[in-house]
Structure 1
């Protein structure tokens, strides 16, 4: 039987839109703290918080999208998210007032959350069910590529041209998304399906959360929390080891291994099932955290090599959580609840990644001073991943059929 096609024009365009959304996210977030610290003369706490509050806005946007996407439609919400995301960029030009900048970051984060969730929901609808893991895996490469390119591009432009040019780049990219959205063609719910879905829409907490997506979303939250230790501390850790280049190449290796493995892991997920992907994922995730911690004991040359290997293992490990977790979340939900399932999954993931730095910032000084604090954090993170692995098996993995 001929395989159903994944790479339709709408799939490719929607994936490019996702890439542009995340590029703008990383371009702005990677330099906003430095801008506040250097140009606005704010404290480190305030400067870092300008990055964190964006995640709060994104979470609000994702939740709102989940409960309104049935009524408003996926493509309309894609436009709404893009408009908010773009419009708030001009707020940076107009003010240096810190409280107002916090509001701008939160509202802009909401726009990003709306647009990203709408795009993810569209991907869930247009990917053939028989190839959902493979298709969502390819779609998620847009985020991987943005994570590899965005921060480096941001630092390069900010250091050479300044924050204003970053805002100009972000504006151009978001205007481009509006052109691309016009070419997105997705089958929305019919008036009858929409009326039925709205009439039978759950009330209370169930309106905001998709219960079937909760188990894998809890796993994503815990994995994202551990991942935040890498996102928050890798730059400082590698600098303390006198190998800052390794900190950057860690994420390059992360992206490369995801790109190389995704076609294989996507097919395994669709043909063999969840556990065939997630068990190896947790093994590589554990090895990655252990290697990062061990790099703190070696000389710079050996530590450099170990961090590169760890970056590759991190790609094979944590790199599989988001795409295949999303595939599980939407697979186990009804058609009209795909938007809620998507917002539930990414809401939990964002909460882990965004909330992790706050908690870990208080824990690191208790584990040691300077480099040793980060090193011990990464070493303790390895058994923490194993604990998440056990939780995954208990709340999801053991219910899956064994495929040989």
Structure 2
């Protein structure tokens, strides 16, 4: 009988730390832009808040985290991530001035960048490879559940309890600090006997090893980012848009969990390309619905297509992370974690920009069709690449 992943050293601290930080992110993600809008900053100011948060997150992931781990160690770094994410949150409640919220969001981006990289790196260090898929699925669950609960709940809480309470509730990330400290200690104990930096490749070489996982992640998160950005226009009524968003996020809960678990049994290559190809069907369906007349038929096509996209969106996050960590090799887990997390955020932002630009020129229907073709092309390229790689390994007498 296989050991329960939840009982493995480090798994509970990983999940508790990440869930606390994701709860803080999820409740402020809609609240902070709404706050500056209410203060007169307008749509551009609201967009700048989210852009600042994610931009600083990516910069932290790419530039700062590995240096922090080297110079100040795991316990201090991970704990600092939870504090950076939580403590600046009440600052926003003091004023709706744009500069105040941008400062707070930038500090929170530092914390989010730290925790996302450290969490996925810790998985690669503490969890054996034969159980890593299940661990990644649980890690995805720790992200998905706060998103499903807090993101839709935030507008209602603002109406009932006010902006001050909701913005200050971002402090919940601090609850993860004790778990973060314990996690850092466990990782340092695990790695203390290993020669520091021995055999570690630069990010450029790691990219060459894990590009299929990164390409898959970028394509699917771009579709998700575009959907989150333009759900109101695609849904054409507030009720339909809300239902679609709930479908996308809710479907992501079980699929992120089982997407990771299935890789322990089947591996990543047999799952990743077919699911990416199937996701293109959902993306194309959204394009079809955008070109239909308003009514029940359009609503049905839209919701069914959203569910298909949501399945791929959840599955591929877990599958691509497992593959990235596996393809990178044991010594390059930190580099793979940096690249996976930064590509997630880049893809999310890219989707809104790319689909928005195409829609501006040719309309939403054509824009989503184009993205569906790109996703399908990516699946075909990676499918042939994996087939060629498998044939090469068989010819050399390897599994």
What TM-score does the superposition give when structure 2 sets the normalisation length? 0.87
Distance in 1, Cα, partners of 2:326 & 2:120: 13
Structure 1 residue 200: deviation in Å? 5.8
For 2:20, the equivalent position in structure 1 comes to: 20
Q: Deviations over 1:244-297 (max 9, x none)?
A: 323222233334444444565444322322232113312331121122222231
Distance in 1, Cα, partners of 2:52 & 2:257: 35
Distance 1:334 1:126, change over 3 A: same
For 1:339, the equivalent position in structure 2 comes to: 334
Question: In structure 2, the residue corresponding to 1:292 is in which secondary structure?
Answer: helix
For 1:181, the equivalent position in structure 2 comes to: 180
For 2:134, the equivalent position in structure 1 comes to: 134
Distance 1:220 1:213, change over 3 A: same
Contact 1:124 1:136 in 2 (8 A): no
Distance in 1, Cα, partners of 2:145 & 2:381: 29
Structure 1 residue 66: deviation in Å? 3.6
Distance in 2, Cα, partners of 1:356 & 1:265: 23
Structure 1 residue 329: deviation in Å? 1.3
Contact 1:275 1:400 in 2 (8 A): no
Q: How many pairs align?
A: 389
Distance 1:150 1:395, change over 3 A: farther
Q: Which consecutive unaligned segments of at least 5 residues does structure 1 have?
A: 368-372
For 1:319, the equivalent position in structure 2 comes to: 314
For 1:234, the equivalent position in structure 2 comes to: 231
- Aligned residue runs from structure 1 range 158-237, under 5 A: 158-171=158-171, 173-184=172-183, 186-188=186-188, 189-193=190-194, 196-198=195-197, 206=204, 211-237=208-234
Distance 1:73 1:317, change over 3 A: same
- Correspondence 1:283 to 2:263: no
Distance in 2, Cα, partners of 1:83 & 1:263: 27
Structure 1 residue 119: deviation in Å? 1.6
- Aligned residue runs from structure 1 range 95-110, under 5 A: 95-110=95-110
- Correspondence 1:253 to 2:285: no
Distance in 2, Cα, partners of 1:211 & 1:306: 39
Distance in 1, Cα, partners of 2:42 & 2:246: 30
For 1:382, the equivalent position in structure 2 comes to: 372
For 1:370, the equivalent position in structure 2 comes to: none
Distance 1:315 1:383, change over 3 A: same
Q: Deviations over 1:36-88 (max 9, x none)?
A: 112x2113122212112211111012122145435544443210111211232
- Correspondence 1:11 to 2:11: yes
For 1:155, the equivalent position in structure 2 comes to: 155
Distance 1:202 1:270, change over 3 A: closer
Distance in 1, Cα, partners of 2:309 & 2:355: 19
Distance in 2, Cα, partners of 1:71 & 1:397: 42
For 2:295, the equivalent position in structure 1 comes to: 300
Structure 1 residue 112: deviation in Å? 0.8
Q: Cα RMSD over matched residues?
A: 2.8
Contact 2:279 2:308 in 1 (8 A): yes
Contact 1:222 1:352 in 2 (8 A): yes
For 1:330, the equivalent position in structure 2 comes to: 325
Question: In structure 1, the residue corresponding to 2:6 is in which secondary structure?
Answer: coil
Distance in 2, Cα, partners of 1:226 & 1:262: 16
Question: In structure 2, the residue corresponding to 1:7 is in which secondary structure?
Answer: helix
Distance 1:91 1:383, change over 3 A: same
Range moving further from structure 2, 51-60 or 305-314: 305-314
Distance 1:236 1:362, change over 3 A: same
Distance in 2, Cα, partners of 1:391 & 1:224: 18
